[in-house]
Amino acid sequence: MEKLSDRLVSWASLIDDKTVEQARTSSTMPFIYPHLALMPDAHLGLGATVGSVIPTLGAIIPAAVGVDIGCGMIAVQTQFTASDLPADRRAVREQIERAIPLSAGKQNRKVVATAAPRIAELEALAEAKGFDPSTYAGNWREQLGSLGSGNHFIEVSLDERDDVWLFLHSGSRGVGNRIAQHHIKVAQRLAKQFWIDLPDPDLAYLVEGTPEFTRYIRELRWAQHFALLNREEMMDRVIRQVSEWVGTPVEERERINCHHNFTESEEHFGKRVWVSRKGAIQADAGRLGLIPGSMGTASYVVEGLGDPMSLNSSPHGAGRTFSRTKARQTFTHEQLREAMTGIEFRDTDAFIDEIPQAYKPIDQVMADAASLVRVRHTLRQIVNVKGN
C-alpha cells in the first residue's frame, strides 16, 4: 500500500498518471472521510476512478457508484469434476446462448416461469420504496435474466482440483443504467442551481437529508437488488443447461453472489459513512468474494482479510489498460484466438476489445491485493459466453 496523499492511498503497482490524477481530484471533495482507496485494478472512469473505494460523510456522488448499479459476480461450485464433462463443449455454450439473452433485455419476449417470483419480489420492493421502475424502463421485467455486452460473461471453469464452477458477471441492465443517469443529472442540476464549484461535473453530489438524496438511496437499493436477482436468475438457467449437457442434475456445493458497483452505509475509523465501491468488492474478514480476470485468463474465489485502510475492500477484476477503441486498433482477431486457445468461445472479431492484452495482468493485480484477500480457489475457463 502506498500513501499518495493524506486523503489518497493506493494498492496499484500498475497505474498511469491520468488515473492517479483523477483519483487525487476526487479525494479533494470535502466530505471524503478518511481517505479514498485505489484498488490494484484502478483505471480511468466517469468522474471517479474505476477500482476505487470512496467513503463519504453526509453526501454521495452518484457517478462514483457508476451507471451499472449493482454490477457484480455470481459463482456456483458444482459436484462435477473435469472428467464428468462431455467432450463437446460447443454444445453447452450454444445451449446457454439460447437460454439467456446476451445483450439488451428487449430480446426477452416473455417473463419465464423462474423469473416470475423474482419480478414479483422487485415489484413489491419498488412499491414499498414508493417508485415505479417503469418510468425508467417500461420493459424492466423482461430485462431480468439478460446478460449484457462489454465485459459481462458466463463461464464454465475448473479450479485447482479440477472441480467444475459456473461463473457469471452482470448487473442491473438498462433499468439500473437509467436510474443512475437520472440521479447523476439531478446532482449536476443542483450543483448549478446552488453555484457549487466542482473540479469535475461528474463529481456532483447529493446531500444526505434532502429529498433528492433520499430518493436516490431508495432507487439505488432497488437497482442493487435487481442486479443480485438478475444474476441469480441467469445462474439458475445456466445450471439447467449444464445439467442437461452432463445428463445429471447439478448439486450446488457453494454459491457466492457479490456486487462490485454499489453503496452501503458502514462504520469505518469511528464514523458512519457511505462507502461507494466503484469496481471493488467488500472484503470484510472472512467474507467470500469473486475476482474475475479478463477473457481467457484466471479468475479467483477469495476470502476477505478486512484490511482497514482499504475500508475492507479488494479489486473486482483485472482493470483495463486499453480503451475499447484503442484495443480494436491495436490487436487482431488472430491474437484473440491465440489467447483463447483451449477455451470454447464464440469465435468472432466482435470480442477483440475484450482480449486479455487490453487488461492488466490478473496475476499482478492479485499480487498487489495480497494484504486484502486470501485466494481460496483459482479458476481457469473451459467455456466462455459473451454478450453481443
Classify residue 369 by burial, with Cβ atoms within 10 Å: 0-12, 13-18, 19+. buried
Return the beta strands (E) in 150-249 as ranges: 153-158, 163-170, 206-207
Amino acid present at 94: E
> pLDDT-based confidence at 108, cuts 50/70/90?
low
Classify residue 110 by burial, with Cβ atoms within 10 Å: 0-12, 13-18, 19+. exposed
> pLDDT-based confidence at 150, cuts 50/70/90?
confident
Task: Report the SS3 class of residue 130.
Answer: coil
Q: How many residues does the chain have?
A: 388
> Which tens digit of pLDDT belongs to each residue from 298-355?
999 999 999 999 999 999 999 999 999 999 999 999 999 999 999 999 999 999 999 9
Instruction: Determine the average pLDDT of the residues in 149-164.
Output: 95
> Which tens digit of pLDDT belongs to each residue from 231-264?
999 999 999 999 999 999 999 999 999 999 999 9
How many angstroms separate the CA atoms of 59 and 53, rounded?
15
> Which tens digit of pLDDT belongs to each residue from 23-53?
999 999 999 999 999 999 999 998 899 999 9
pTM: 0.96
Q: What is the set of active-site residues? A: 316
Domain 2-321+359-386 is found in CATH 3.90.1860.10 = yes
DSSP 8-state assignment for residue 114: T
How many angstroms separate the CA atoms of 298 and 287, rounded?
20
CA distances from 213 to 145, 146, 205 (A): 29, 29, 9
- pLDDT at position 32, please? 98
Amino acid present at 234: M
Phi, psi of 73 (to 5 degrees): -125, 150
Which residue from 161, 144, 171 is spatially nearest to 77, judged by alpha carbons?
161
Classify residue 198 by burial, with Cβ atoms within 10 Å: 0-12, 13-18, 19+. middle
Classify residue 39 by burial, with Cβ atoms within 10 Å: 0-12, 13-18, 19+. buried
> pLDDT-based confidence at 149, cuts 50/70/90?
confident
How many angstroms separate the CA atoms of 82 and 72, rounded?
26
Ranges of each domain in the chain? 2-321+359-386
Does pLDDT of 107 surpass 90? no
How many angstroms separate the CA atoms of 73 and 115, rounded?
19
Classify residue 1 by burial, with Cβ atoms within 10 Å: 0-12, 13-18, 19+. middle
| Mean pLDDT score of the chain | 95
Does pLDDT of 111 surpass 90? no
